[in-house]
A and B are shown apart, each in its own frame.
Chain A
Amino acid sequence: QVQLVQSGAEVKKPGASVKVSCKASGYTFTSYGISWVRQAPGQGLEWMGWISAYNGNTNYAQKLQGRVTMTTDTSTSTAYMELRSLRSDDTAVYYCARVKLPLIFRGLDPWGQGTLVTVSS
C-alpha cells in the first residue's frame, strides 16, 4: 500500500537548522510530488510548499522563501525538507503528503505520520 514514513522528533535551538525526511513506498516515486504542511500546537494547517520528484521543481510558500529547501533522492524514494534559522514559532508538527503534479486539484493523499520539531533554547 502507498505509505509515507517520516523521521523522528527533533529538538533544536533557535538559529539552528532541521532536516526532516519522508520515505515513500508502494508507488512510483517519480510520478508524483511531495508537499509539506506544518501545524503549530493547537493551530491549523499551514502549507509550506511542494517538490516534483520527477524533475525537482519546487514551489514554496512566500512566507518561508529563503529559509526552506525541499529536495528528493530518487534512488531511495525519499523527500527532505530543510528549514533554517529556526525560531520558536517554527515549533510544529511537520507533515509530508503525496501530490499528483501537475494535477494538484486531486489534493494531498496520503500523508506521513508527522514529525514534531521543537525549537527551544
Chain B
Amino acid sequence: DIQLTQSPSFLSASVGDRVTITCRASQGISSYLAWYQQKPGKAPKLLIYAASTLQSGVPSRFSGSGSGTEFTLTISSLQPEDFATYYCQQLNSVLTFGGGTKVEIK
C-alpha cells in the first residue's frame, strides 16, 4: 500500500504567517491528492483536490501544489479560524491518509 508522510506533525505559527505543510508519498500518485482541514469535534472539510484545485467556497489563501511523490499545502496568511489539523489523502483506489499536521497558535 502507498504510505503518506506529512511534515511537520506539529507547527506553531502566528496570525498572518505563511505556513507550508508537506506530504510525501511512498510511490508516485500523479496528482491524486487531497487536503482536508479538521477542527476539534468536527468532521473534516475538503480544501483541495487533484493536488491543486481549490474546493468551491474555500478561501484563496489556501493553495496546493505538487505531483508524483511530493506535495505541499500553503496558507498564505494564517487567519484565526485556520488553527486546526490538516490531513493529506491519496486518491487512488485505496484512499489512505497522512498522519496529520496540527497548526497551533504561537
Contacts and interface: CB of A to CB of B under 8 A. Distances in A.
Given A35-B95, A44-B97, A47-B97, A109 B46 contact: yes
B73 interface: no
A88 interface: no
B46 A44 contact: no
Contacts of A108: 34, 36, 44, 46, 89, 95
Contacts of A80: none
Interface residues of A, number: 23
B43 A106 contact: no
Nearest to A96: B43
B104 to A, nearest CB: 15
Q: What is the size category of the interface that chain B forms with chain A?
A: 20 to 34
Given A44-B99, A45-B100, A62-B1, A104 B45 contact: no
A106 B97 contact: no
A46 interface: yes
A28 interface: no
Interface string A57-95: 001011000000000000000000000000000000001
A46 B92 CA distance: 15
B97 A45 contact: yes
A106 B50 contact: yes
21 contacts: A44-B87, A44-B98, A45-B87, A45-B97, A47-B94, A47-B95, A59-B94, A62-B1, A95-B43, A97-B43, A104-B92, A104-B93, A105-B34, A106-B91, A107-B89, A108-B34, A108-B36, A108-B46, A110-B43, A110-B46, A111-B43
